[in-house]
């Protein structure tokens, strides 16, 4: 098997950190998105959503969507410390926080960046006022993450989970939208610094 990706992208980082937490190494092939490696009919036949990363399995199946790739490896390597949670309550809390951080955080940040920067305007229509709106919604979302982390070391449950990975990648993406973590967000800063010290995130991914 191998993963088709571009290591510097947030989605590839999510998968890379997840695999590093599990101690799993998977061969990776780097694509050049600016050159349109992900726009070819061949790539589109592999990736349902047309995006990276894509996991190419030895049986000929392809899995796109970062979290789907993570679930594949989680199911392949059952653990009493699953990054998706173990008990029904843990699983629900991890799914909830991971989704909240995606739907109100990471996806909003991506839409904001793409519509404000026009980085992909050669391949998608851009609506700048929506970029402005997304950036504002992100600013309005961050206080709820700050509140959640008050007195907590991890976002979703009492140990590291995929929700912490999603949140870490989100916070790392904020400079692209000219958003700085200020002194008004001490909990996010403390938590972010702690996650940045983990071997999984601390390897120049």
Footprint of a second copy on this chain (CB under 8 A)?
48-49, 55, 57, 59, 61, 63-65, 67-69, 71-73, 75-76, 87-89, 91-93, 95-97, 99-100, 103-104, 107, 125, 127, 129-130, 133, 136, 144, 148
To a second copy, the closest distance from the beta carbon of 95 in angstroms equals 4
To a second copy, the closest distance from the beta carbon of 112 in angstroms equals 12
To a second copy, the closest distance from the beta carbon of 160 in angstroms equals 18
Here the tokens at position 155 are 């976002």
To a second copy, the closest distance from the beta carbon of 145 in angstroms equals 10
In our burial notation (b when 16+ CB lie closer than 10 A, e otherwise), range 145-184 reads bbebbeeeebbbbeebbbbbbbbbbbbebbeebebeeeee
Q: Residue 92 or 196: which CB sits closer to a second copy?
A: 92
Q: Residue 129 or 151: which CB sits closer to a second copy?
A: 129
Q: Residue 51 or 189: which CB sits closer to a second copy?
A: 51
51: preceding bond cis by omega (within 30 degrees): no
Here the tokens at position 59 are 């049986």
3-class secondary structure, 60? coil
Q: Residue 146 or 198: which CB sits closer to a second copy?
A: 146
From residue 20, alpha-carbon distances to 2, 165, 183 in Å are 15, 11, 31
């Amino acid at each position: 098997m191998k993963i088709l990706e571009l290591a510097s992208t947030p989605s590839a980082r999510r998968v890379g950190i997840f695999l590093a937490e599990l101690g799993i190494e998977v061969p990776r092939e780097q694509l050049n998105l600016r050159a349109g490696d992900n726009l070819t009919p061949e790539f589109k036949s592999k990736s349902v959503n047309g995006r990276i990363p894509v996991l190419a399995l030895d049986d000929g199946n392809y899995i796109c969507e970062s979290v789907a790739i993570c679930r594949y490896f989680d199911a392949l390597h059952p653990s009493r410390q699953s990054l998706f949670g173990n008990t029904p309550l843990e699983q629900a809390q991890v799914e909830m926080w991971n989704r909240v951080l995606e739907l109100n955080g990471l996806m909003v940040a991506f839409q904001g960046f793409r519509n404000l920067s026009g980085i992909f305007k050669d391949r998608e229509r851009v609506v700048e006022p929506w970029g402005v709106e997304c950036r504002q919604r992100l600013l309005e979302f961050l206080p709820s993450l700050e509140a959640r982390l008050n007195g907590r070391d991890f976002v979703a449950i009492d140990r590291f989970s995929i929700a912490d990975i999603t949140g870490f990648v989100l916070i790392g993406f904020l400079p692209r939208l000219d958003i700085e973590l200020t002194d008004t967000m001490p909990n996010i800063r403390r938590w972010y610094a702690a996650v940045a010290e983990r071997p999984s995130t601390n390897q120049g991914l």
